[in-house]
Structure 1
Amino acid sequence: MRKRVFETSDISSLYQPKKFFVLDFILTWVPLWTAVVGLSAGWFEFDYLFMGVAGMSAVPIALYMFYSSRNKALIRDFWARVLRPDLISPRWWLVLLLFVPAVMSVAVLLSTMFGGSLEQFVPSERLVTAPLAMIVLVLVFGPLPEELGWHGYGIDSLRSRMNGFWTSMVFGMIWPIWHIPMFFIENSYQQALLAMPVPLFFYLFGMIPQAVIMNWIYWHTGRSVLSAIILHFMINFVGEGFQITQQSKSIAGVLFFAAAAVIIYVDKDTFWRKRCAYKLQS
């Protein structure tokens, strides 16, 4: 069966980016800010439930947006992009699996010029003692639910209104704002960054080049949601699975900016073309 091709002007009526992101922020920020206030006030001792609800928020919202549209082709397209690994060619599988480890390896090697140690390549205690549990936790708490929503619906909704460059820039700014409540949760990774200005900068603004790279792969793999999940997972897994210092992560941030700039310059058509043709998958 021939796949229907939607031009940007066609799909703009199918997507509602403002509604999606407003709902996502509400379903994320309400439980997170509740956790912030509740923990500080002593209402409860654990925030697992609130963190879980916030982390999973993008999934039910994306499903609501798709199914409320009552567009069967759009719904089939979503599930195909989630469930079909064949959308990712062998070349792009290599990029997904090797790009982040390569960048982090170069960053660690460069860090040795500033006193860094090669012991950063040593696996973390969590990875050594419970590798399967760590892999599952890293996948489930972040990449899987977030990308089912963001690249399942959010990115396409933005792309229906603007070109690839501005889609990546806007999402790259939404992404860190979405994390703001985490900086106020006691003992969180984000709160620890508040005492480290340089790593904090690259954590926040480093999401922009990450969005560029993730979208670039996404658009070259038939809009595969799986590709976004894998790249997001690799970023988190490499950062948590090895003893990489904040210095090296900051250097990696510079490398991500450089890579994103090269990608935008070389692949102008992907990022600057206003109109795009979406081949809905099935």
Structure 2
Amino acid sequence: MHSSFRTPAWFYFALAFAITWVFWLFPILASHGILQLGQTAQLACLFAGSFGPFVSAFIAVYRDGGGPAVREFAGRSLRYRMGPMYFLAAMLLAPVAAGLSMVWLASHGGPPFAFGVALSHFPLLYVELFFFGGSVNEEFGWAYAIDRLGERQHLLRAAAVLGVIWGCWHIPLFFITGLTQSFLPFWAFLIFTIALRVVIVWGYASNRKSILVALLFHTASNFAFNLFAVVDRTPKHDERGFIGFGLIMLVIASWVALSARCYRQAPPDSVAAID
């Protein structure tokens, strides 16, 4: 099977991780008192590092096909035509899953069910998260990654592998005091990233590789963390809300994996062999 990729996959992943982890190293050192770094500088490093996948993807795409490839790749973020089912899933699946987890938690000794954001703040918060909360920073990179991983293996397996890689990409954040990941068990976070990535890839692959769909899914996921207190930052450190969130997403991802057309198709190598 002929490949349109000239950049080795390992180069993309190595570059994405290197850019991110180098920038994130400074807040880690500051968090543990090894380096003196102001709060603004730490946030700047965190924000710059989050663009590792984005920058690496465009470097790889340019190496693969020059300017035309870059324009085609960037243009996928404007592919707004998607089925109503995919749009609703992208906007609602993660928030509903988080809400169900918090309803369960409230009935099992947790805090009363409540929204953490006023309804009037929903639009602005969503826009902020879309552009500055990790969606744009990451999803161009993970779109390139799934194209590479899905080139020679079954798409479902590629999505699960990317979910693991995505989870591991966040590892430095677990060592920075006060960040969301520092309150979470890594195993549960990994379940969450695998499940969410399977769902995101379903939307992406089912809509002509629309990066916009992936951006919407990612933003809604981050929105859910703001909408509900699934991460307990109190001294009680109750992890059940997030674990429940992750498990509900896993159930959703399992259903998608079993029913989605894109995941029932034969692996690329099998198609090539038939041809």
TM-score (norm 1): 0.81
Deviates more, 1:157-166 or 1:242-251: 242-251
Runs of 4+ aligned residues of structure 1 deviating over 6 Å after TM superposition are none
- C-alpha distance in structure 2 between counterparts of 1:59 and 1:149, whole Å: 5
Secondary structure (helix, strand or coil) at the match of 1:123 reads coil
TM-score, normalised to structure 2, is: 0.83
Question: Is the CA contact 1:107–1:248 (under 8 Å) kept in the aligned structure 2?
Answer: yes
> Matched residues in 2 for 1:130 and 1:105: separation?
18
Partner of 1:167: 158
Deviation track 1:122-181 (CA, whole Å, cap 9, x = no partner) reads 233xx5796566334422131111002211x11111111321122112111111111111
Aligned residues of 1:176 and 1:207 also touching (Cα < 8 A): yes
How far apart, in 2, do the equivalents of 1:51 and 1:36 lie?
Answer: 10
Give the distance between the partners of 1:128 and 1:257, measured in 2 at CA: 28
| 2:210 counterpart residue number | 224
Q: Hey, what's the Cα distance between the residues in 2 that align with 1:74 and 1:42?
A: 41
Partner of 2:236: none
2:234 maps to what in 1? none
**Aligned residue in 1 for 2:49:** 54
1:189 maps onto 2:180 in alignment: yes
Q: Cα 1:265–1:119, aligned 2, differ >3 Å: closer, same or farther?
A: closer
**C-alpha distance in 2, partners of 1:78/1:57?**
17
What is the aligned-residue RMSD (CA, Å)? Answer: 2.6
SS at match of 2:44: helix
Of the three residues 249, 260, 272, the one matched with 2:253 is 260
Structure 2 portions without partners, runs of 5+: 232-238, 270-275
Verify: 1:21 aligned to 2:13, yes or no. Answer: yes
Aligned pair 1:233/2:219, yes or no? Answer: yes
CA contact (8 A) 2:204 2:213 kept: yes
Secondary structure in structure 1 of the residue aligned to 2:107:
helix
Q: Mapping of 1:36-55 within 5 angstroms?
A: 36-39=28-31, 40-46=33-39, 47-55=42-50
What displacement does 1:104 show? 2.4
Of structures 1 and 2, the one scoring higher in RCO (CA 8 A, sep 6+) is: 1
Q: Quick check: 1:135 aligned with 2:126?
A: yes
- Do residues 105 (structure 1) and 99 (structure 2) align? yes
**Aligned residue-pair number:** 259
Which of 82, 88, 92 aligns to 1:94? It is: 88
Q: Which residue of 1 aligns with 2:272?
A: none
Alignment partners' CA distance in 2, 1:10 and 1:175: 27
CA deviation digits over 1:63-109, x for unaligned, max 9? 111112235653343122111212x2223212212222332232233
1: CA distance, partners of 2:106 / 2:96: 16
- Cα distance in 1 for partners of 2:145, 2:208 equals 16
Cα separation, 2, equivalents of 1:271 and 1:141:
33
CA gap of 1:85–1:189, structure 2 versus 1, over 3 A, is same
Structure 1 portions without partners, runs of 5+: 1-8, 277-282
1:63 aligns with 2:58: yes
Equivalent of 1:211 in 194, 197, 200:
197
In structure 2, what residue type is equivalent to 1:264?
A: A
User: Once the two structures are aligned, what percentage of the paired residues are identical?
Assistant: 23
* Within-5 A mapping of 1:139-150: 139=130, 140-150=132-142
Q: Contact conserved, 2:191 with 2:250, CA < 8 A, in 1?
A: no
| Corresponding position of 2:78 | 83
- How far the C-alpha of 1:116 sits from its partner, in A, is 3.5
Residue 69 of structure 2 is matched in structure 1 by 74
Higher deviation after alignment, 256-265 or 65-74? 65-74
